[in-house]
A and B are shown apart, each in its own frame.
Chain A
Amino acid sequence: SSELTQDPAVSVALGQTVTITCQGDSLRTCYASWYQQKPGQAPVLVIYGKNNRPSGIPDRFSCSSSGNTASLTISGAQAEDEADYYCYSRHSSANHWVFGGGTKLTVL
């Protein structure tokens, strides 16, 4: 089992807003980063820390953090956002890193 917990699946209507959450003790001391993975492709970084997006990632992706929970929000979800999303952080023991179990996002 993962030390970061995500809902296995979430759906959103086209153009609406959706939030994907990630819970774990390591998030009390470290911010999460988030990855998008489409079928047959390697994961891609979409956002990290305090709302830092790599170049090329749309600003409809945002993140926040509170206590032991990190959240990824997609405002105005598009069809191309349908993918698996993973959170990631360094474990509080500092001797390993962990991924959440992943959330499959369906855009209806």
Chain B
Amino acid sequence: QVQLVESGGGVVQPGRSLRLSCATSGFTFSSYPMHWVRQAPGKGLEWLASISNGGSDKFYADSVKGRFTISGDVSKSTLLLQMNSVRAEDTALYYCAKESDAFDVWGQGTMVTVSS
């Protein structure tokens, strides 16, 4: 069945970098747009970035534009999020999601805590 498994979260100091991964299985990775969405503790969902099927188009929320980069490794069916210059407000549970008309499949999330 379709599965998304995030990893790479942890505690990171402000200003440093972190790379999140989302390992996918059960579908053809390159055939679907993919997304990163986060949820700060006790807060709502915030869309961060998406990559089109095939990887040619990428879109970002203003809050992360210029700091975060979404990419896909088709050979490993893995979605990536490179997070640079992280801030305290980036502390959240980060989800990857597959798009088939909407966000139809979600991973369990990986927690990122930005703290000195």
Is the A/B pair a real complex?
no
Chain B residues close to A by CB (< 8 Å): none
Chain A residues close to B by CB (< 8 Å): none
